[in-house]
Structure 1
């Protein structure tokens, strides 16, 4: 828990206007520490602000991370304005500190940043209805479309090899061999599952190297709750949580959405009989994503969307298992086997996708017009 004196120090170094009414923890993110601040401004009412302490154990170069966010949001603001949209609601607005920087480094060495809170919009942790999932797909597809002309190679890698599945596999093997927490003996079935799917760890990298898949600006954490849905129009209006925006593959963004949103159970569901990849939800998302991309993806990228779903699901499960073997140092956990439960749901989804592989490809072909 962050002490109040440190919070006061941080808040005093940002150009917030008005009288502070409230400062409390906010959201359900695994990585950063997030606070909701409310300020009372005369003749304007209450203005909410998001304040975050960046996790520098995960993001080793927070200054480069904020450079990415500033550059991408500035580019998005221009595109949104050109298209007649509202950049105040359709992309994040960073609040500069009093020194004019997009972050503040506190007296203990922590890095903080602040955003305007987008009101009358909600991020959902679970798919409650088809329309919300469809709207998130449109939003992430539009994110690809708007950034299609941005030079992806100029972005920093905020986490090196983040979706380099081959590199993730190497880290996994190292975690198994070192077994620092002596947990490997209890997860042999899960370890074997990864080893049996080693081909998936190489396929996307090989396709990129051969030129089949182009490098793009990617979000890399395309869960449903990273799209804000307007409370009145019920349209997906803003993609948030841009920490992992960097060069990558569009099909990885698609795949991460499917592994999270098309699952019939929670990411940490213990009863694996409840876990399937819902083909109806897969179709809902595929339709929205392809429409949102507005013709900016290549034919090869669209054909590879099911592959992106399977690889991203395996990779995520492998990451959860690796973290479990290493002592739960990356993802926040609520109980000792939390990462293990998470990995098992992902592996169950991979198995289910393999059973439904022909159906997934048929659905993608249906919307690849």
Structure 2
């Protein structure tokens, strides 16, 4: 892979020798590398075209969002750094090598640092505030100008249907190991009813759609918020899902693939910090129905990501990168446990929206 990058990809960006290429991050979908050369540093990604079947839409959306944010920076309305595309020598947004991959480059941000687990309220509040600041800056970008890179990405009924189909077909014979979790997920029909009632009242916004804690970079010099990254799934949607993914990835003291389920729970103080930070930025932007939807978004996302992990496990791990055969099952169990913790604490947690 490294030699392929040096010989066939980097020359398109004017890098022909002396480049050092190393893996970067631990994303589930794309392959990401840090490139060091005499010209400087850049981040190079091979887009997973099995997941992103319209990769041109992905890079076009990212360009539109970066341009809008850069305009906001120039006006003094956006205080974070902007992740922007690095063009090829032909001023293209990508390099398509057919069987050898679809590649794009973005600028490298020095002094950047990401975390996998939130340690304290300050980290949670600053990250939630940063994601809220990102959404606020994009609130005047017409969401319909963005293409759907993954149609119905946050469509819970569709995800439940996919799980049901995967369980029925059981193509790799794994259902016997997870029948209880399948039964649990398919029994969550009251959530589908609640979603159907509220979703139609919500405005379409430009959403990040993957607000994991490691998609907010800190400045390692002082641990201040530096940048929102991973714009791959930015498209139109509902902000309740961005809020929900923060709850999903900030509140547990364990990583999402931890098998220590007895430790997986929603930390109330971290949940409260998310609400403070997010609403401090977006409180006057959100409609009344959008504010009401945030609690629903937290539950939907925790359940839905568990459903997606479980579906991929039943389908033979064709979507998410895995390190071993039961990795997706472990992730699913982790997310369902977090969802159960939300339900157990709902009376206490809902007060932070008041």
Q: What range is the shorter-chain TM-score in?
A: over 0.9
1:20 aligns with 2:18: yes
Calculate the TM-score normalised by the size of structure 1: 0.92
Structure 1 residue aligned with 2:167: 176
Instruction: Trace 1:31-70 onto structure 2 (pairs within 5 A).
Output: 31-41=29-39, 47-70=40-63
Cα deviation for residue 109 of structure 1 reads 4.9
Structure 2 residue aligned with 1:285: 274
Q: Is the Cα contact below 8 Å between 1:169 and 1:201 reproduced in 2?
A: no
The range that moved more, 55-64 or 290-299, is: 290-299
Q: How many residues align?
A: 354
**What's the CA shift string for 1:220-271, capped at 9, x where partnerless?**
1100110111123422121100000011110100001111110121211212
Structure 2 residue aligned with 1:297: 286
Structure 2 residue aligned with 1:5: 4
Distance 1:27 1:271 in 2: 23
Distance 1:62 1:154 in 2: 16
**What's the CA shift string for 1:144-178, capped at 9, x where partnerless?**
11111111122111111110111111111111111
Instruction: Trace 1:27-176 onto structure 2 (pairs within 5 A).
Output: 27-41=25-39, 47-83=40-76, 90-106=81-97, 108-176=99-167
SS in 2 for 1:34: strand
Structure 2, gaps ≥5 residues long: none
Cα deviation for residue 91 of structure 1 reads 1.1
Distance 2:51 2:193 in 1: 24
Instruction: Trace 1:239-318 onto structure 2 (pairs within 5 A).
Output: 239-318=228-307
The range that moved more, 181-190 or 279-288, is: 181-190
SS in 2 for 1:180: coil
User: Is the alpha carbon distance of 1:191 and 1:107 closer, same or farther for their aligned partners in structure 2, counting shifts above 3 Å?
Assistant: closer
Distance 1:188 1:148 in 2: 42
User: Is the alpha carbon distance of 1:146 and 1:258 closer, same or farther for their aligned partners in structure 2, counting shifts above 3 Å?
Assistant: same
Q: Is the Cα contact below 8 Å between 1:32 and 1:52 reproduced in 2?
A: yes
Distance 1:73 1:49 in 2: 16
SS in 2 for 1:304: helix
Structure 2 residue aligned with 1:44: none
Structure 1, gaps ≥5 residues long: 42-46
SS in 2 for 1:108: helix
Distance 1:197 1:301 in 2: 22
**What's the CA shift string for 1:101-154, capped at 9, x where partnerless?**
111112535110111100012111111332222111011101111111111122
**What's the CA shift string for 1:314-363, capped at 9, x where partnerless?**
00000010000100111111111111111111111111111111111101
Distance 2:194 2:319 in 1: 26
Distance 1:231 1:3 in 2: 28
The range that moved more, 273-282 or 300-309, is: 300-309
1:337 aligns with 2:326: yes
Cα deviation for residue 99 of structure 1 reads 1.5
Q: Is the Cα contact below 8 Å between 1:259 and 1:309 reproduced in 2?
A: yes
Aligned-residue Cα RMSD (Å) equals: 1.7
Q: Is the Cα contact below 8 Å between 1:152 and 1:246 reproduced in 2?
A: yes
Instruction: Trace 1:211-230 onto structure 2 (pairs within 5 A).
Output: 211=201, 213-230=202-219
The range that moved more, 140-149 or 228-237, is: 228-237
Distance 2:346 2:293 in 1: 12
User: Is the alpha carbon distance of 1:26 and 1:362 closer, same or farther for their aligned partners in structure 2, counting shifts above 3 Å?
Assistant: same
Calculate the TM-score normalised by the size of structure 2: 0.96
Q: Is the Cα contact below 8 Å between 2:117 and 2:253 reproduced in 1?
A: no
